Amino acid sequence: MCGITGYVGPRPCVRTVIDMLRRLEYRGYDSAGVAVAGRPTAAGDTDVEVVKAAGKLAVLESQLHDHWEKQGTAIAHTRWATHGGPTTPNAHPHFSNDGRIALIHNGIIENYQELKEDLIRKGFHFTSDTDTEVLVHLVDHAFRAAGDMETAVRAALRRVTGAYSIAVVSTHDSETLYAAKTASPLILGLGVGENFLASDIPALMRYTKRVLVLEDGDFAVVTRDAVSLTTLEGKPLVREEFLVTWDEQTAEKGGYPHFMLKEIYEQPRALADTFRGRITDSESVRLTELEGFTKDQLATFTRIQIVACGTAYHAGMVAKLFFEKLLRRPVSVDVASEFRYSDPLVGPDTLCIVVSQSGETADTLAALREARRLGATILSIVNVVGSSITRESHATLYTQAGPEICVASTKAYLTQVAALYLLGLHLAGVEARLDSGLLRSYVRDLTMLPDAVEEVLGRALLVEELAARLAERKTFFYLGRGYDYAVALEAALKLKEISYLHAEAYPAGEMKHGPLALVEAGVVVVCFGTQPHLFEKMLSNLKEVSARDGLVVAVVPENEHRADSAAEYVLRIPAVRPEYAPIVAIVPMQLLAYLVAKARGREIDQPRNLAKSVTVE
């Protein structure tokens, strides 16, 4: 997820796009850049001027002293790295070899490697490690054939598969801005004698409240006096103008009252982004990040060790069950802060999987270093490119959650679980652990998860009704068996983090070994029942709680009704493959935690005593 801005009009264009970009800082970034296509002069066209720098926006601004009053058409970008580290060459905008075209991009180009190889054969030179640079060279190649920028941009995009929002400027057509969108957000701001482009509404609010929200497949030609919208094939489109009535703080959150709620609703797209380019048309998983590991090398890993903290640890618990079922080898999951002091049994026969959203978690980084000292091979699951953990790992599988602002993790957690599922299926495929038909069915069912999460979010009113009943309760228990126990741990943590209520999670069978003594009238017990082979056992636990006047909430698949008589409230979720239920079952619990905390007037995005990235022991 990146910040994109663009401007066509009479204002100083660099000052305008950088000011707009500053209002997107909440999106997170690791580098920034700006490109200006100056207006034609008597001497003829010149190159597009590009200035970019690794680091925060302030680093770029320090290099723009001679550019603030530039006139022309400008685009600017803050990058959240996906392909290639956070370096100046990898920063956007990227530009053509002749310096006449510049382009910025948000998204992932799935077929960039094959396109890059083809362009190199045609004589194009690459200066970055990004997938984006392919796009600008494709546009340049098409322009050489067509002699027209609009035709060239359309032709380039027809060769691309993946997700993108792009903006293009050129000295071939210096008073026109070209933009297109699939999947990643992009909006146009409408002015008088000027027009604007951005990836989110806050960038525009100082300049205009009139916006057009582009939809997937839209192609825009923007000049100072007009905006033309068509499909990629050229069919005219009409998009309804939207008048922004939010204040700037609400606009940053996309109209949501809190970043947490916004990020919960971003989860279907985050899942789809994490799967994108990693699932083939033949329903197999291909992780190019792991192509350095041969089949023989993978066979030497007789043990798998997962190390993480907090929410990431719960993702690791899901992975343990999944890996052991598919790979039939022992998997250990340890809290990072305990692992490094426990004289761990890891060595050259161990694949150590390190999970961290930020890639800077101090305890996890220390555990990584200990495992590496002992000879283990380190594979990290991380959301932030170029972070400390990625630099010290032998390989990294990136999630594609994008920046997560709320301290309590939601979409980062779901994408960690998704990435671990991909890893398990990749290893199972390489090692031929499953029948090919069964493996394809696992992969096929995985691709259905974004829609299943979308369906849960569509039932949010049911969770609102439940939250209204539970907001004044003081004690919560979360119970589950197997995969459901991992979900119970994460659900309890979410409630604790943002509502400050007492919440505990237990394997359901452990309740009668002590915790059942705490159940009485007024105590809420949330019971997960998504695993068919364990449901009868789970039903007994529901009845044990109900018999002691606990308020039972059951979370079950939509086709399961056996809990109806034992629970006071039943939340139904889409029926998915049981191994994938953790992805779906946690979503109503995220909503429940959010709504209870909101009803209690808590500071949801920044709960007391907590930080987003824990960089101290």
Tokens of 461: 């009113």
Beta pairing, strands 303-308 & 350-356: parallel
Give the C-alpha distances (Å, rounded to integers) separating 416 from 171, 274, 544. 43, 9, 34
Nearest to 204 by CA among 185, 188, 222, 220: 188
Residues 6+ apart with CB under 8 A from 517: none
In the set 56, 537, 543, 612, the catalytic residue is 612
Residue 612 annotated to the active site = yes
530 near 484, Cβ under 8 Å?
A: yes
Residues 6+ apart with CB under 8 A from 547: none
In angstroms, rounded to a whole number, what is the distance separating the alpha carbons of residues 408 and 271?
Answer: 18
Q: Residue with structure tokens 């995985």?
A: 446
Amino acid, res. 398:
Y
380 near 390, Cβ under 8 Å?
A: yes
Nearest to 413 by CA among 508, 339, 486: 486
Give the number of other CB atoms < 10 A from CB of residue 212: 21
In angstroms, rounded to a whole number, what is the distance separating the alpha carbons of residues 386 and 213?
Answer: 32
Reading phi first (left if > 0) and then psi (alpha if -120 to 50, else beta), residue 4 is in beta
Amino acid, res. 215:
E
Give the C-alpha distances (Å, rounded to integers) separating 548 from 405, 507, 517. 40, 18, 9
In angstroms, rounded to a whole number, what is the distance separating the alpha carbons of residues 501 and 488?
Answer: 15
Identify any residues that bridge with 72 across adjacent strands, giving them in sequence order.
none
In angstroms, rounded to a whole number, what is the distance separating the alpha carbons of residues 564 and 554?
Answer: 8
Phi, psi of 547, rounded to the nearest 5 degrees: -65, -20
Nearest to 485 by CA among 536, 526, 450: 526
In the set 2, 309, 352, 406, the catalytic residue is 2
Tokens of 473: 């309760």
Residue 2 annotated to the active site = yes
In angstroms, rounded to a whole number, what is the distance separating the alpha carbons of residues 98 and 409?
Answer: 44
Counting every residue written for the chain, the total comes to 617
Give the number of other CB atoms < 10 A from CB of residue 6: 32
Which helix (H) or strand (E) segment holds residue 341: the answer is none
Q: Residue with structure tokens 């991380």?
A: 382
Give the C-alpha distances (Å, rounded to integers) separating 446 from 378, 449, 450, 481. 25, 6, 9, 22
Known catalytic residues are 2, 612
